[in-house]
Amino acid sequence: MRTLYPEITPYRTDKLKVSDLHTLHYEESGNPQGRPVVFLHGGPGGGGQPQYLRYFDPQKWRVILFDQRGCGQSTPFAELRENTTWDLVEDIEKLRKHLHIEKWAVFGGSWGSTLALAYGVTHPHACTAFFLRGIFLLRKREIDWFYQDGASRLYPDAWEGYLKPIPATERHNMVEAYYQRLTSTNAHIRSSAAKAWATWEGSTSKLIPDDDVIAHYGDDVFAEAFARIECHYFINKGFFTEDNYLLNQVNKIRHIPAIIVQGRYDVVCPAESAWDLHRAWPEAELKIIADAGHSLSEVGITDALVEATDRF
C-alpha cells in the first residue's frame, strides 16, 4: 500500500489579489522545475492543509495549493459576496497565468472534484491530467441525500445534532433553514448553526468515525467559513445553469487523462456520482475502494491517489 510522502515546507508563500474584494493565499511546494499540479481543496470553504502536499513526489511535482475565496488564509474571511463557482474557476486561471504555467494537472476531491470539472470544461487547454476523488456533481439529489433525507438513516445519532438548531416547522427544507441562520446578523445564531452543519459532515466523512476529524470540523473558526460558504453554494445550486451541467459538458475534457478514486461506502458523496461520471467519461480510469468512506486520508484512497500521481 502506498502511503503519504514525508511532510514538506513550501518554498514560496504569497498572495494574489483577484478582485477589489478578494485576495487569495497560495503556496508552492516540491520541485520548482517539476510537473505543475494545482490542488483544489474541498468544501467549498474547507481551506488548504499541509497534508495535501504529501500526495505528490516532491522531487517530481511542483504543487500549487491555494485557499479559495473566503476561507483559510484568503481574505476577507467567510465572505459570500463575489463568491461563486465561476469566480473560483477564473481565480484558478488567474493563478496559472500569474505563475507563468502553460498547463498543469488538476487534483480535487469532494467539492474539489466539482471545481476541477468546472475548471476543466471551461479551460480544457490548460489541463494535462485530472486526479478526482469522492465525486460531487452538485446535483439536487446529492444535496437532498446528505442534507435533507438519506444519510440520516445511516447516522441517526449524528443527524440529531444536525437537526438541533432547526425547529421542526422548518425541517422540510434544511438547506434553506440553515442558510437563514448562517447569514443571520446574530453572531451566536451563526456560530451555533455553523458548528452543527460542519460537525455533521465531520461525523460522516470516514468509514470509521474519527474523533479528531469531528473536532476539526467542529472548530468554531473552521466551521464559520466552511458552513457559510457551503450552504451559500448549495442554496444557489452551485451556480450551474442546469442540474446535470457537469455531466453534459464532460465531452470537452474526455481526451485528457484522468483517474477517479471513490470510496465504496462514501456517505457524503455516494458512489453513484462517480459511476455516472465514469459512464459519461469512459476513458477516465475508475477505482472504487472497497473498504473506504469519503475522506482523503482513508488508507485505500491514499494508496490509489499516490499510486496515480506517481504513475502519471
* Residue 266 among the catalytic residues: yes
Active-site residue, from 25, 74, 294, 295: 294
3-state secondary structure of 132: strand
Of the candidates 266, 273, 278, 295, the residue annotated as catalytic is 266
- Contact yes or no for 21/38 (Cβ under 8 A): no
C-alpha–C-alpha distance, residues 304 and 90, integer Å: 29
C-alpha span between 119 and 64 (Å, rounded): 15
For cell 460522516, what's the residue? 204
In the residue annotation, 110 being an active-site residue is answered as: yes
Asked if 70 and 77 touch (Cβ cutoff 8 Å), the reply is yes
Sign of CA dihedral 198, 199, 204, 207: positive
Strand order across the 35-40 sheet: 12-17, 23-30, 61-66, 35-40, 104-110, 127-135, 258-263, 285-289
Q: Where are the beta strands (DSSP E) in the chain?
A: 12-17, 23-30, 35-40, 61-66, 104-110, 127-135, 258-263, 285-289
Of the candidates 110, 113, 203, 205, the residue annotated as catalytic is 110
> In this structure, are residues 6 and 308 in contact, taking their beta carbons and an 8 Å threshold?
no
Nearest CA-CA partner of 244 in 96, 109, 163, 138: 138
Q: Catalytic: 294?
A: yes
Which residues are catalytically annotated?
A: 110, 266, 294
